[in-house]
Structure 1
Amino acid sequence: MFWLPLLIVAWVATGLSCTRLCLTAYRAARPGATPGQGHELTLYEAAFLSGGPTRVTDLTLVSMARARRLLLAHTGWATVVDPVGGDDMERSVLGAIGPGGQSPIAPVRRAAAGTDAMRALADRLVTAGLALPEGTWSGVAGAVRQVRAAAAAVIALGAVALLMPAQESRGEAHVALWFTLALALNAGCLAVARFEIHPYPRWASPAGQLLLSALPARGGSDLTAVAVRGTRALSDPELRAAFAHQDTAHRSH
């Protein structure tokens, strides 16, 4: 029965990881508050639900560049033309650029993500049931990783157990069966999570995803496309180059 402690470890790891995944998946997938009839997302709200604070900052930069109140160079730098923001988000971005009036886009993204205006937007969406509370996405992703690790551990422990001399008449088939059941439970939990909540939501709740899905049907401008799909949706090649350059520079660091 030397394999029995290995089996206990395998089942404990399986039970803990699957329980965590089920709980976090339930929290992420359960419906939030239902928006009222006729509710339409603002562009900032759509950007946050689609891509979080970074998407909101990108949308603000593009909007200000289109209004010629900001210059976005193909080198990935932002230069202020008009230092007066039209709303709280624009004022936050201008503050993130700094008093010098010029900054690479990447630091602007990081600074704007922690501003009061961004936190207020996030809190408003969470309260409305349209956005997931902070940490939900990392909880789901972490739970999935834990189940995958448990499955790998079951395979390794099962292999070790099968290499041990058989301790009873039922032999290797009996040992393999118990480890296979644990592995099947891990695989089943991963399959259910993938079916129910994949792609694993990071920002939008089910109610928020429903509103986002209606945005393309309303037509919309280039800014709507940026809010929903990001800067890759820009039709202006110079603006695309500005964000592509800063993305490349950010990855190199």
Structure 2
Amino acid sequence: MHSDPKMEELPEIDQLIHPEDLEQAFDESPTKLKEVVDVIKKGRAASAPSPNVVPYKVYKNCQRITKRLWKLIRVIWRRGRLAESWHKAEGCFIPKEEKSETLKQFRTISLLNVEGKIFLATLIIREAKDSKGELTVVWLDLANAHGTEPKKLVESLLEKYHVPDGIRGLIKEYFNHLQLRSVGDFTTSSQRLEVGIVTGCTISVILFSAAMNIIVKSVERKRRGIWMKSGVRQP
């Protein structure tokens, strides 16, 4: 389910949009302590235990330990190499329908060490700002979309969106070494995740949304749908 024996290069698709050049450069300065604290505050204290059994609650209540984690994150940022334990995930299979028997009828909920999730959250969303505007969420029900997104697509997206080389290198290194093992009545050995993204990973959901966004934006000008009563025309 997680292997990709071909690992082929993706062909260049002329129809895909090319995002405009950046108006403001990415902030590549080392992570600030406040950014780490803000991410920890948003983490659920009652979240399921991670592989190293350290929950967000530890960092929520122990400021000195949080500061040590921040210093570790700065070292990792400078070296451009993640901690080995941050590449490990434990997955539980959840049935998607009654009488599920094959792997395709299950989805995986993955648990990762919170330290890695904190680092990746500060890495990607540090520039995000809250606004007063409305938010519309569209769910695309695609066949195993999370589990089949090619790694080469992720690399291509980061380049198209003008992500700096240093950040792209960190993300590539993370996915190239990501391993998943299934836990339940018995625990499997760890397997390298060659295709797809991990549920529960703070960076995977953003990369998946970016992939869907570039596809939808590439077709919305060419194919226009019906007019809704609200006055909005569907792509």
The two structures have a TM-score, normalised by structure 1, of 0.22
Comparing both structures, which one devotes a greater share of its residues to strand?
A: 2
Which structure ranks higher in relative contact order (CA pairs < 8 Å, sequence separation ≥ 6)?
1
Comparing both structures, which one devotes a greater share of its residues to helix?
A: 1
Higher Cα radius of gyration: 1
The two structures have a TM-score, normalised by structure 2, of 0.24
